Structure 1
């Protein structure tokens, strides 16, 4: 461990320079998707598709500097073509199966090294630096791009740009769900939803019955995460409404309760189409016929995990 140098960067540089650069990259790729679809005559709804991706891209790239009202207007604009189903997939330039098989024959299992490297890079940045993890992921992706270019000379920069657009188009408007749901959690907290939940739970959980409070807290995390699609958005509301007044107020260990309650929320993530990154994106990428196929295969696992975590919280509270 002594050989590992911990990198510390001025928080202002981290927040004001590095992270905005990441969002600029994301935004420009998304804007490219909009422009490419606008020029694609095979796209049955190229104007609506271009409006969606360009609005999304501008909000991502320049949201740090745009006034809040402008960002809000962009969100409304991008939602209009999505609501009317005017975001379509245009011409797809995917590699043929023969080319894929040939490339795999040359590269073999080394193909997993770039993907594995992204995860390692993210972990290292998270553990040993104060740099935002998204910056670490971005650096890992860039390193992966370089490795893939070494693997195959056909991997030019435009290949990665066009493939980024292809996967964005496959996912469609679902791409914006994580950001919007994350914002919704903050809005719910500010609006006092936690207090409303607390008033309802008072009628079910007797004061001082911590074990019952834990059960309600865990199940509430699952249900609210299913609605929100995001356990991080649910944990704030549920902690204010149930965790604080019915569990922590009676001396339960906040580390155990908070940490395990969050993983209870992840059980809800396994059960909802609102968690698009986990349950809907794989369906689109793998071209599965059953849109709920991923969720159906996770129901039993989620139930077992929830029971174990409730028992853990009760035992070690």
Structure 2
């Protein structure tokens, strides 16, 4: 049955390809350093579930050591602006087809194989149907892009390396911060947070509990830099025991809008470096926080909207108790 382990192997193909591309580039002085970093990352994604915890921890420390040493990659030269302009003029709006294929294939796969059964046989883990459909959508988009652009087969790997090198080690932050959130949840940080909030604000109505949960998700995301890291903490501390169990909130609505509230925090923090700081560096903006300055008003509006929708839709008995 296709589950998370198979998806991890699929995800490992990208850093593995980047590692091989670095290793074959003899003109790069730090090629083995870069190949080692992305190779270890691929190893963790692909076979990490079968390795002992100590081995996984040591591999993470190897990545940290290589990143601290300094990767200093020399990315392959991109195609000229003139060539890109000619290609864009030739393709026109067909350029959007590969990008649109990802959500379309993901939605179609999720709706058509919701229980994970194909022709009556259990093929996909029902809990991972959406992720499997997303993976298939990415493969379909890659094939369409190659057919449309008529580029050589090595182009996806070269472009992947160029993008990965531009972002650097920050590309692995989501996985590391999500793991940190899981560690915090097991350590009982969620209960400490809940006790602290209850001591400050009396969460005696569904509306107050909703505001505390959504605002807490945004604030914790700002501190930790990743909504996936904040989610287990705030959900274990406030979302599950208070919003869901005490006031009867719908778990699906609470979890979905809680995560969206966390994403609002992502828009407002430099800790989300791969979203807010790296783009500013790539675009060579004078203000390194320019992306955040543009995003934060939208983030506040979305946070208020999420709170309103959760409060109005998640409680069958209404907000007044």
CA contact (8 A) 1:171 1:284 kept: no
- Distance in 1, matches of 2:136 and 2:283, equals 27
Shift of 1:118: 1.5
Number of residue-to-residue matches in the alignment: 300
| Structure-1 separation of matches of 2:183 and 2:42 | 23
- Within 5 Å, which residues of 2 pair with 1:1-317? 13-15=1-3, 19-40=4-25, 42-43=27-28, 45-84=30-69, 86-129=70-113, 130=116, 131=124, 132=128, 133-153=130-150, 155-206=151-202, 208-255=204-251, 256-276=253-273, 278-280=275-277, 282-283=279-280, 286-316=283-313, 317=315
| 1:186–1:94 Cα change, 3 Å | same
Find the counterpart in structure 2 of residue 3 from structure 1. none
Unaligned runs of 5+ in 1: 1-12
Structure 2 distance, partners of 1:76, 1:120, is 39
Residues 214 and 262 of structure 2 are in contact (CA less than 8 Å); yes or no, is this contact kept in structure 1? yes
Q: Partner of 1:109: helix, strand, or coil?
A: helix
**Which moved further from structure 2: 27-36 or 91-100?**
27-36
For 2:297 and 2:104, how far apart are their aligned partners in 1?
A: 30
The CA deviation at 1:78 is 0.5
SS in 2 for 1:14: coil
| Aligned-partner SS, 1:157 | coil
* Offset of residue 275 of structure 1: 3.4
Q: 1:34 to 1:288 in 2, by over 3 A?
A: farther
Unaligned runs of 5+ in 2: 117-123, 316-321
Q: Deviations over 1:13-48 (max 9, x none)?
A: 112xxx545433432432332343345455453343
Backbone CA RMSD of aligned residues: 2.6
TM normalised by structure 2 equals: 0.82
Query: Quick one: distance in 2 between partners of 1:315 and 1:138?
Result: 34
On the 8 A contact 2:102/2:141 being kept in 1, the answer is yes
Aligned residues of 2:167 and 2:274 also touching (Cα < 8 A): no
Cα displacement string for residues 279-312 of structure 1 (whole angstroms, at most 9, x for unaligned residues): 3454455454543322221100111122233344
Judge conservation of contact 2:21–2:158 (CA < 8 Å) in 1: no
Q: Secondary structure at the match of 1:83?
A: helix
Q: Tell me if the contact between 1:40 and 1:90 (Cα under 8 Å) persists in the aligned partners.
A: no
Give CA-to-partner distance per residue, 1:106-165, whole Å, 9 cap, x none. 111101101111121122222322343333233223322332333243x12111111111
Q: Deviations 1:263-292 (Å, cap 9, x if unpaired)?
A: 221211211234355434544554545433
- 1:248: how far off? 3.8
Residues 185-237 of structure 1: CA deviation (Å, up to 9, x unaligned)? 11111100011112212311225244333322222111111223332332221
Contact 1:181 1:233 in 2 (8 A): yes
| Alpha-carbon distance in structure 2 between the residues aligned to 1:49 and 1:190 | 33
